[in-house]
Amino acid sequence: MRVAILFDLDGTLIDSTEAILDGFAYAFSSFGLEPPPKEKILALIGHPLDFMFVHLGVTSDPMPFVERYKERYRQIFKAKTKLLPKAKEAVLEASRLGRVGIVTTKTGKYSKELMEHLGLMDYFDVLIGPEDVHHPKPHPEPILKALRHLGIPPQEAFMIGDTCLDALAAKDADVCGLGVRCGYGKKELDRCFDHLFADPLLAVRFVKRLKGYHH
């Protein structure tokens, strides 16, 4: 039985901090509001956009803010996003071990375009974004949907992510969660993940050792 290795995007494979902060600044400014401090925005990355806006103080319907964010993000996301160190190597190594997927709260369309732009989309067998599910992470639905698509059971699957949302989704999907310290989740990662690594390549190599792959 081959394994499935699922990756989160922001903070796990890519650094789109600049694009995200720019998008939020644009959205808040569009409605004559002062953008919140960047630390507050970064602490919420991993959640869906509407959730983020509400928790950043938007008391009205957050969807107009989401639309403004996307309007700006669409213009800048390719130029202002880069792969994290060891991300490319991690994806290539994972593709040699089994089936590979992306499970993200970033809009699927942008996720796909971004991975094509960065030259990695061909290595992924499935991409699940928030529009593909009723309940995004930390709910297990996106992980389970990815695994159904791949035809691989949860006990043969791994979810690599950088926040407790990834850990909770993995746990509730009965999948092994592997945390990476290169992203947005900081101190709290120790209490969420049983296995923590500096970067996604080390996480993939852990899977390789665990499963006894030698090639």
Q: Which pLDDT score, from 0 to 100, does residue 140 have? A: 98
Domain 17-76 in the same topology as domain 3-15+82-210: no
Q: Which pLDDT score, from 0 to 100, does residue 215 have? A: 47
Q: What is the mean pLDDT of the chain?
A: 95
CATH T-level topology, domain 3-15+82-210 = Rossmann fold (3.40.50)
Residue 141: name the closest of 110, 181, 94, 105 by CA. 105
Q: Which pLDDT score, from 0 to 100, does residue 24 have? A: 98
State yes or no: pLDDT of 109 exceeds 60.
yes
Active site (catalytic) residues: 8
How confident is the model over 69-82, as a mean pLDDT? 96
Q: Which pLDDT score, from 0 to 100, does residue 64 have? A: 98
The domain locations on the chain are: 3-15+82-210, 17-76
pLDDT band at 185 (very low <50, low <70, confident <90, very high): confident
pLDDT band at 166 (very low <50, low <70, confident <90, very high): very high
Looking at per-residue pLDDT, the higher value among 46 and 75 belongs to 75
What CATH number does the domain located at 17-76 have?
A: 1.10.150
pLDDT band at 46 (very low <50, low <70, confident <90, very high): confident
Percent pLDDT > 90 in the chain is 92
Cα torsion 85, 91, 97, 102 to 10°: value is: 130
Token pair of 214, please? Answer: 């030698």
Q: Which pLDDT score, from 0 to 100, does residue 1 have? A: 58
CB 27 within 8 A of CB 72: yes
**Would you mind telling me the total number of residues written for the chain in this entry?**
215
pLDDT band at 187 (very low <50, low <70, confident <90, very high): confident
How confident is the model over 126-144, as a mean pLDDT? 97
Q: Output the CA–CA distances (angstroms, integers) from residue 12 to 28, 50, 87, in the order listed.
A: 27, 21, 8
How confident is the model over 51-71, as a mean pLDDT? 97
